[in-house]
Amino acid sequence: FFIEKFLSKQELGLYSFSLKLFTISLAGLTPMLTVLRIKQIDVAKNKNIKEYVHRNFKKVFLCAVCFYFIAIIGTCILTIFFFKNYIGSLWASIILISTSFVSYLSIPFNFLMADRKYNIVLRLSLISLFLTLLINLLFIQTYKLIAAAMSVFVAQSFLNFGSALYSYYIFVKRENK
């Protein structure tokens, strides 16, 4: 609603281009999650999240950094050399691709779905939705594409990091009982 109301057709085109690049940057997430969900269910059953996090954090971090730099470099090359008409979307694209970095970094440590904590996921999602709406309401008229991209970044970061931290909290609490 806010995006269509406050952005011109040209700005909508630029934002659409940024969203396409963002979607491409998330392409590796689905195969990664397919493999990890099975492992996460086992970890959730055996309640050994500390060991899982300790053993896999460096691997996940390196993978996320690699995907991030490949996506940033690819975006800059595509935008600057091949799609020069979309150069105005470069910062919005970088912000959205930074959102994918947060996803790659945090989703492997989100056990809420594996542990069937759907109500927590719903609450975090609703808060994320509220954050998106609030940021768009307050800033999109002034900051246009950047505000739209930042609202996605803030909301997704809250959802992803919130889910990962909440997962860790739940399992550590269980282990201490």
Q: pLDDT tens digits for 81-114?
A: 999 999 999 999 999 999 999 999 988 888 777 7
Residue 177 pLDDT greater than 70, yes or no: no
pTM of the entire structure? Answer: 0.86
Q: Are 32 and 104 in contact (CB under 8 A)?
A: yes
Model pLDDT for residues 15-34, shown as the tens digit of each residue: 999 999 999 998 888 887 77
Residue 117's pLDDT is 82
**Residue 1: pLDDT band with limits 50, 70, 90:** low
Q: Are 21 and 75 in contact (CB under 8 A)?
A: yes
Residue 171 pLDDT greater than 80, yes or no: no
Model pLDDT for residues 34-90, shown as the tens digit of each residue: 777 777 777 767 767 777 888 888 988 998 999 899 999 999 999 999 999 999 999
SS (H, E, C) the chain: CHHHHHCCHHHHHHHHHHHHHHHHHCCCHHHHHHHHHHHHHHHHHHCCHHHHHHHHHHHHHHHHHHHHHHHHHHHHHHHHHHCHHHHHHHHHHHHHHHHHHHHHHHHHHCCCCCCCCHHHHHHHHHHHHHHHHHHHHHHHHHHHHHHHHHHHHHHHHHHHHHHHHHHHHHHHHHHCC
Model pLDDT for residues 124-150, shown as the tens digit of each residue: 999 999 999 999 999 999 999 999 999
Neighbours of 163 (CB within 10 A): 22
